[in-house]
Amino acid sequence: MAERATAAEEKRRLILDAAARVFARKGFHTSRVGDIAEEAGVAHGLLYHYFSSKDEVLETIFREHWTNVLEQVHDAETSEGSAIERLRAITRALLGTWLEEPDVVRVVIREIARTAEIEEHVGELVKPIGAIRRVIESGQSSGELRADLDPALAAIVFYGGIDELISGWVLGRLPGGEHEVAAAERHVVDAFSSGLVAAGHELREAPGADVSA
């Protein structure tokens, strides 16, 4: 039974990974179930054994990816360190998804975040803003960050910069290699934090940060 369950999960994952590649390459609306089955190397009918429709495949890709993202953001928010270090960790978690799952990120940005279906997912997509706001509030309480700034607005601005970078990579407006992602992480945190850090507090570089990027 365990082996059968493992085999079923592997087949399901094979289909989801294939669907992400197909949706990223062709777009969700012009892709067919047959395209996914062909990409996965499985029989057409097998896909319906795991998913009721192409829409359910897309929803599953988004749900599983975003659940993982939110778990990483939560771990970063609750990690040890200063507020700036935790903001850096959140930024790394969000930007790092592009290097880890570029096809899935393309699908989320193109087919979820920028389509009419956004209303169904907006509550999930903005959850990182809440984590960023809470980190800023904790930094304000400790005196590390300026107390005169609205943490909710600051969190929106911070997250907006991250979202714009990822969108730029997805849409091909910006180069998105490993070096560029590392540089983007540093620039987002350092540029934003220079206006957040309270007087008398130094902006600390992350260990091993490339200050020449």
60 phi and psi angles, rounded to 5 deg? -70, -40
pLDDT single digits (tens) 51-70? 999 999 999 999 999 999 99
Q: How far is CA 183 from CA 48, 54, 78, 157, 190, in A?
A: 43, 37, 24, 19, 10
Q: What's the rounded Cα separation, in Å, for the pair 95 and 204?
A: 20
Q: Mark whether 19 and 42 lie in a shared domain.
A: yes
pLDDT single digits (tens) 133-170? 999 999 999 999 999 999 999 999 999 999 999 999 99
Q: Mark whether 8 and 71 lie in a shared domain.
A: no
Q: What's the rounded Cα separation, in Å, for the pair 188 and 54?
A: 36
The boundaries of the domain holding residue 44 are 1-51
Q: How far is CA 212 from CA 55, 88, 187, 190, in A?
A: 45, 18, 11, 13
- How many domains is the chain partitioned into structurally? 2
> In this structure, is residue 211 part of a structural domain?
no
Residue 211 confidence (pLDDT): 37
> In this structure, is residue 161 part of a structural domain?
yes
> In this structure, is residue 84 part of a structural domain?
yes
Q: How far is CA 18 from CA 47, 100, 126, 172, in A?
A: 11, 16, 27, 22
How many other β-carbons are positioned within 10 Å of the β-carbon of residue 5? 9
Residue 93 confidence (pLDDT): 96
Q: Mark whether 22 and 77 lie in a shared domain.
A: no
Q: In the chain, pLDDT over 90 holds for what percent of residues?
A: 74
Residue 90 confidence (pLDDT): 97
> In this structure, is residue 43 part of a structural domain?
yes
> In this structure, is residue 200 part of a structural domain?
no
pLDDT single digits (tens) 112-123? 876 666 567 888
Q: Mark whether 72 and 176 lie in a shared domain.
A: yes
Q: What's the rounded Cα separation, in Å, for the pair 2 and 115?
A: 40
